[in-house]
Structure formats: structure tokens, C-alpha cells
A and B are shown apart, each in its own frame.
Chain A
Amino acid sequence: MKRTLFRNQLLPWLLLAPQLAITFVFFLWPAAQAVRQSFLREDAFGINTSFVGLANFKALWSSPEYLNSLQVTVVFAVSVTVLSMGLSLLLAVAVDRMIRSTSLYTTLLVWPYAVAPAVAGILWWFIFNPTIGVMPYFLDTIGYDWNHISSKSDAMTLVVIASAWKQISYNFLFFVAGLQSIPASLREAAAIDGAGPVRRFFDITLPLLSPTTFFLLVVNIVYAMFDTFGVIDATTEGGPAQATNILVYKVYFDGFVGQNLGSSAAQSVILMLIVIALTVVQFRYVEKKVAY
């Protein structure tokens, strides 16, 4: 808290006005609209709207498509998080051993952060293109017939790889920072006590890295749930047979393509609740610094 303050009463409001105005018009008002619409149902021509209470939410819970989308989202988010964080941790631990080449490797590994998710999707879509792609060609030589246009699991693998690839650089940077903040004396002491590199990694490095790991866990789940819209839309568009139709894509699809506003709004409300829950978890536990 500041002890020295300025005494004007009007000036702070003028300074806040632009941000408050934009926040109100483009954030709070639409969010309130989503909540309102989630309790309404429009008829097929959009003329009459009636209050239906929680019917939109009930319809979602009994809709096999929504439950499928929920399941797809969980599988997708967990796969992206595990794959991306696993690879990044491996790379970060390797770079942590380096003395001279750290900055070179860092430069070579961080740039995918700047690639748009939609572009990342297009790039991997091309590599895995069943007719002209590089990967299906190699997979064919080992007897696997890759086709993400018809195979559900191939499509899921494709979007997971594209999304995880883009997130590697972000996780890598935070893991490297986390590793560097672990005092070298701890590892030296363990080495003197006769612990080998593997033992030191599991008994010292990994536990002391847990605040970073936990923070990244939340960030990656949020990324996989919301920021991967571009990857999905540029590659599979939720298909085949809804195999990659994650929640945030379904909100868009039902609202804009399906024109089912009540259902889309109810889905928006559920997603907002999920985001709020994740944000609260992050603020609660990141403050406390998870450690053993």
C-alpha cells in the first residue's frame, strides 16, 4: 500500500474510464447476456423467446453429444498437458546441464510460442496429410495406415500433437527458470552423499520444482481448453464424428453454425464457471507455493 497519495477525486475516474467502459461493454454485458440467454429458449424463427429456467442445462446433461464433448475435452486437455510438459521438462533438465550452449538452445526452442495456434494446426495438418504428407508416408512403411479424416483416434492424435508442439516453448522457459532457482548446494550435498543423477532428479529436483509444475499444470489445462480453438478449426473442425469436438469449439459451432442460442449460452455459462474455478485454484495454490 502506498502512504503517499494524490487527493483528487475526479481524476482517478477519468483515468479508469477507458478500461471500465471497454470492460463493461465487451466483457460484463456479454457475460450477463450469456447468463440471461441460458435461461431462455427461442423458437425456430427467433420471434418468440420464453423463460425456461434450467431446461437448457438439463438438456445438456442428457445430451450424448455434450457428454461426448466433455469426455473429448478431458482426454484432449490431459494428453496435451502431459505430452507438452513431459517433453519440456526433459529439454529443460538437459539444458540445465549446459554451461556455454544454454542460450543457443533456448533460442532454438522458444520461437514456436510466436506461432499462432491456427498456423500450427495448418502445419501439422500438412505433415499428416494422408495423400501427400511426410508422416503417413513413413507410417505406411511400418504398416500403419494413417487417416485423420476418417479415423477418430488419428484425428485426436493430430490435434494433440499440434497443440502440444506450440506449448513446448512456454513450458520449457518456465521449467528452466524453475530449475535455475533450485540452489546448487542442495544437489551438491546430495552428490557428496553419493546420490547419482537419477536419484537427485527424483528426490531433490522434482519436489523442489513442484510450484512451477503446478503452475504450468493449470496454465496448460487452460491453454488446452480455450486457446486451442484455432488448432481444431484449422484442422479437424471437431470431426470426424465429433471425435475432436472440444467444449469451446462446440460453443462456437452450436451458436454460430447451429444457431441454437439458448444451448450455446448455457454452454458458455458452464465454461465460464470452469474458468473461474481454475483461476481461483491457481491464485489459491500458487500463492501458497506447493512444496514438500
Chain B
Amino acid sequence: MIENRPGLNLLAHLVLMLGVVIVALPVWVAFVASTHTATDFMSGTIPLWPGPYLLENYSRMLDAGVSTSGTPPVGTMMLNSLIMALLIACGKIAISITSAFAIVYFRFPFRNLAFWCIFITLMLPVEVRIVPTFQVVADLGMLNSYAGLSVPLIASATATFLFRQVFLTIPDELTEAARIDGAGPMKFFRDILIPLSRTNIAALFVILFIYGWNQYLWPLLITTSSDYYTIVAGIKRMADAVDGLPQWHLVMATAMLAMIPPVAVVIGMQRLFVKGLVETEK
């Protein structure tokens, strides 16, 4: 702040409060809706304050779900989402950290070609090549499996780039010292590189967890058995099924449950989240 202008400060606070309200509005409305019963929507508009059915609606969704929509209990779907998000986050980190190590610390024939093969995936979001990718996964018999949910989304140029940047900033003297002490490449990788990039790994994990949890189109396509439905994809099936019946309170309870884990991660690990967000884009 350059000079003290109380008027402008007040205006800034007003702008920010309005922003917070706009940002929170849809979630508040969903929360309120999830604490009422179906009959409360009959009057024409939804109520603006929470009702008394919070525990009843949420426990019903977690344990049983909406049987008419053909979706499993929300608890099952959340577990599937959790497994998918963890597999994607850990898988991406594991394969990118080793390939970045190979690219930075070794000279071998076709090194540049390998680098470009990885680089090009940055340019091909799954939505763009959805039909042929689906065919590949179907041919490999990976429909309705956790492998099918996660492996095709694992290859990532961004994570490889991030680790490449991190490794390039690690001083050569450390590598020399390790070699003089007789450490081979894998010992150097395990005992020096991984500990030094610990915070980067954690920051990347936060971003990738959110990315994995929020996947929508891919799980929607490759899961036909309700055992493997994820919550973000399942919520749409639920909303479609209840379109005729006014069961919005249950859909909104599911929406809240779909939001809580990733939002909790962002708020709880805000510092790592911001670090991860900024690093993966650089």
C-alpha cells in the first residue's frame, strides 16, 4: 500500500466480501438444500436456511444411495474416487521422477527423442483423443477396473518437467561428492535426490490428488459396472435419474460429499497447494 486512503480500503473490503459471497453462494445453496426433505421443494422455491435433516440425508446417501438411479452407495463411490485419485497421484509422481532422473543425469542415444515423446503428451488432453483412447483401453480389457481408471491418465509431461527443473537446480558438487564416496546412480537417487525434492513431491501430490478426484469424462466412459463408479461421475447419473422426481436434496448431499475431500486438501494444505499450482505451470 502506497498511501493511506480509508475510502479505498473500505471499497477493497467491500469488493472482497462480495467476491467471497459470490464464490460461496452455490455451495451454500447446495448445503441448505441437502438439509431438507423432498417435500420442502414442493412450495416452488428452495429455503434459504438449513433444515433439520442434515444427518438423515447424509447418512442415507453414504450407506444406501438412491436405489432408483442404479448408483451404489455414495460411500462406495467415494472409496473408488479415493483409490483412483491416489493411484493417479502416486503413479504420476513415481514414473515422472524416474524419467526426469534419467533425462537429467544420463547421456544416452535418443535421449532427445525420448524427451520429445514425453513433451508431446503435454499437448494432448484426454478429451481430445477420447474415442481412440477408449478403444485401446477396451482392447486391453481394462474397462471396469482400477487400472483402467488410472493408468491412461498417469503419463504426464508436466510432472516430468517439474522434476527436471528441480534436478537442474541441485548442485553438481553433490553428485560429485556422492560419486567419490562410491555411491551408484540408484543410491544417489534414493538418498540424495528424493530427500531434496520432498516438498516438491508433496506439492505435486496435492495438485494431482485434486486432478484425479475430479476426473469426470474418463470414469463415466470406462465404468459400466456400478462397483467402479466414482462420485464425480456418479453424481451425473444420479441427477439424470431423479430428473422426474424432486430428489434434489439427495443430489445436493452427494455434491457436498464430492466436494469435501478435495476442498479440505486445498484449505488444509494451502501452502503446498499454491506451490504446486505455480510450479506445475512454469
Chain B residues, Cβ within 8 Å of A234: 216, 235-236, 239
Are A28 and B117 neighbours in the complex by a CB distance under 8 Å?
yes
The verdict on B44 contacting chain A, using a C-beta distance below 8 Å, is yes
The contact sample of 30 A-B pairs, CB cut-off 8 A, is A12-B111, A19-B160, A22-B152, A26-B133, A27-B129, A30-B133, A34-B129, A94-B19, A97-B1, A97-B12, A101-B13, A105-B16, A105-B20, A114-B210, A116-B213, A119-B258, A119-B259, A123-B30, A165-B22, A174-B278, A215-B281, A230-B214, A230-B216, A234-B216, A248-B127, A251-B130, A252-B127, A255-B130, A256-B131, A276-B123
Are B15 and A113 neighbours in the complex by a CB distance under 8 Å?
no
CA distance A265 to B130 in the complex (A): 9
Are B106 and A127 neighbours in the complex by a CB distance under 8 Å?
no
Which residue of B15, B125, B136, B281 contacts A25 across the interface (Cβ within 8 Å)?
A: B136
Are A99 and B131 neighbours in the complex by a CB distance under 8 Å?
no
CA distance A164 to B207 in the complex (A): 20
Chain A contact residue count (CB 8 A cutoff): 101
CA distance A252 to B9 in the complex (A): 48
Within the complex, the shortest CB–CB distance from A227 to chain B, in Å, comes to: 8
Interface residues of A in 260-278 (CB under 8 A from B): 261, 264-265, 268, 271-272, 275-276
Are B127 and A23 neighbours in the complex by a CB distance under 8 Å?
no
Q: Give how many A-B residue pairs fall within 8 Å (CB-CB).
A: 301
Within the complex, the shortest CB–CB distance from B41 to chain A, in Å, comes to: 5
Among the stretches A46-54, A60-68, A70-78, A128-136, the one at the interface with B is: A128-136
The verdict on B122 contacting chain A, using a C-beta distance below 8 Å, is yes
The verdict on A108 contacting chain B, using a C-beta distance below 8 Å, is yes
* Contacts known (A6-B106, A8-B185); A27 close to B131, Cβ less than 8 A: no
* Contacts known (A107-B267, A126-B252, A197-B8); A255 close to B131, Cβ less than 8 A: yes
- Among A95, A115, A117: residue with most chain B CB under 10 A: A115
The verdict on B67 contacting chain A, using a C-beta distance below 8 Å, is no
The verdict on B64 contacting chain A, using a C-beta distance below 8 Å, is no
Given A34-B129, A111-B267, A234-B239, 10 additional A-B pairs, CB 8 A: A19-B155, A25-B136, A26-B137, A33-B136, A110-B266, A114-B266, A116-B216, A133-B46, A252-B131, A256-B130
Which residue of A19, A109, A127, A276 contacts B26 across the interface (Cβ within 8 Å)?
A: A127
The verdict on B95 contacting chain A, using a C-beta distance below 8 Å, is yes
